[in-house]
Structure 1
Amino acid sequence: MANTSKLPDISRIPFWTVSSSKQGLGVSNLADNNTDTYWQSDGQQPHTVTVKFRSRHQIHTISFYADIDKDESYTPCKVRILTGTIPYDLQLIKDLDLETEPRGWVDLPLDESVMAHLVQIEFPLNYENGRDVRIRGLRLWGPPPNHHRFKSEMILPYTTPEFLMYESLR
């Protein structure tokens, strides 16, 4: 994970679900910090991991661990990121064909830090036309600690720390 060393890991905050899984290879394997374990889907494509936050969170980068050498046709070659507030208003924010076969952590920086209640990571295609997918780790990264961006709900675009400390109610 090259670009994420100074970003806060927000992976433990949300509630995680997956579209399907083989018995014993479920969602808990995505966040166990062990790349020898994995989530394996069991169903029709696209396979998805859905992340639900209690309140809106800013997401800077999404990283996943995949290994073509170990998993061959179970390795995804295309990834889509969708965000929204509920499953019915998801909007595509990133659609990526992997340029190289993944052998480790793949970082997916978002164009702009995204504020979302719900994030869905979709794996629609695999190498060698594989049916199920294996993901050996998944992380969500927040913005850098000193990162401030203009929020669309702000009435005035003030960005100094003195103004930003009053941007929300407790």
Structure 2
Amino acid sequence: MEEGEEAAGGLREIGNLASWSVTSAKPGNGVELLRDGDAATFWQSDGVQPHLITAQFEQRVELLELHLLLDFKLDESYTPNKLVVRAGTGCHDLKDIAVLDLKEPSGWMKTDLWHLGPGQQVVPLRAFCLQVAILSNHQNGRDTHVRGVRVLGPRPHPQSSLGFPLSLEAHAAAGPYATVR
């Protein structure tokens, strides 16, 4: 899926809106490989755990899903098995959103970042900063491989970007004009 591309269910990839960083990287396996769209390449950490992947957005964004591309068959002890997803207004106030315990993952691992609000309506997570902390790897591996990262948000309604109301019925004064004869 290309950056900004539409996904199924009214989602779009918004990772291109973020500035990405990692705590460490082996030469030749840097942060840019997380977002290159190639499953054959990977970011490899080079240091002590936890290994951090951080996405910082210039403005607060609505987040619905986080996808991580992992492959135990190829990466073995480099494959994460315990991760924590955190979010906040910056790196200084991150709160744990999800804890993932993975068993030999293969493919895109999806994590929901939303919760249900009143009336069972999906409410996106709103944040400036999203972070994945890799706490441990399979087989007690030290460094880690992550082959891809995608962040999905809601697709904006076309009228909202033009400054028009989403519904004429929402405005009492527009009532007589809300239908066509």
**What's the counterpart of residue 168 of structure 1?**
none
Unaligned runs of 5+ in 1: 147-159, 166-170
Matched residue SS, 1:29: helix
Cα deviation 1:41-86 (Å, max 9, x = unaligned): 0001010100000000000000010100000000001111111112
In 1: Cα distance, 2:47 partner to 2:167 partner = 51
Secondary structure of the residue aligned to 2:49 is coil
Q: 2:130 aligns with which of 119, 137, 157?
A: 119
The answer to whether 1:142 aligns with 2:147 is: no
Structure 1 match to 2:107: 104
Matches within 5 A, 1:29-44: 29-44=33-48
Residues 50-89 of structure 1 correspond to what in structure 2 (within 5 A)? 50-89=54-93
For 1:91 and 1:119, locate their aligned partners in 2 and report how far apart those are by CA, in whole Å.
Answer: 10
Structure 2: stretches of 5+ with no match in the other structure: 2-6, 116-123, 158-164, 171-181
Give the drift of 1:87. 1.2
**Secondary structure at the counterpart of residue 69 of structure 1:** helix
> Which has the greater radius of gyration?
2
**How far, CA to CA, are the matches of 1:58 and 1:86 in structure 2?**
15
Give the root-mean-square deviation of aligned CA atoms.
1.9
**Alpha-carbon distance between aligned partners in 2 of 1:106 and 1:5, rounded to the nearest angstrom:** 16
Q: Distance in 2 between matches of 1:144 and 1:122?
A: 27
Q: What CA distance in whole angstroms lies between the structure 1 residues aligned with 2:68 and 2:8?
A: 15
Q: Aligned partners of 1:120, 1:40: CA distance in 2, in Å?
A: 16
Corresponding letter in the other structure for 2:143: D
Could you tell me how far 1:110 is from its partner in structure 2?
1.7
Higher helix share: 2
How many aligned residue pairs are there? 148
- SS at structure 2 position matched to 1:87: coil
* In structure 2, distance between residues paired with 1:110 and 1:16: 18
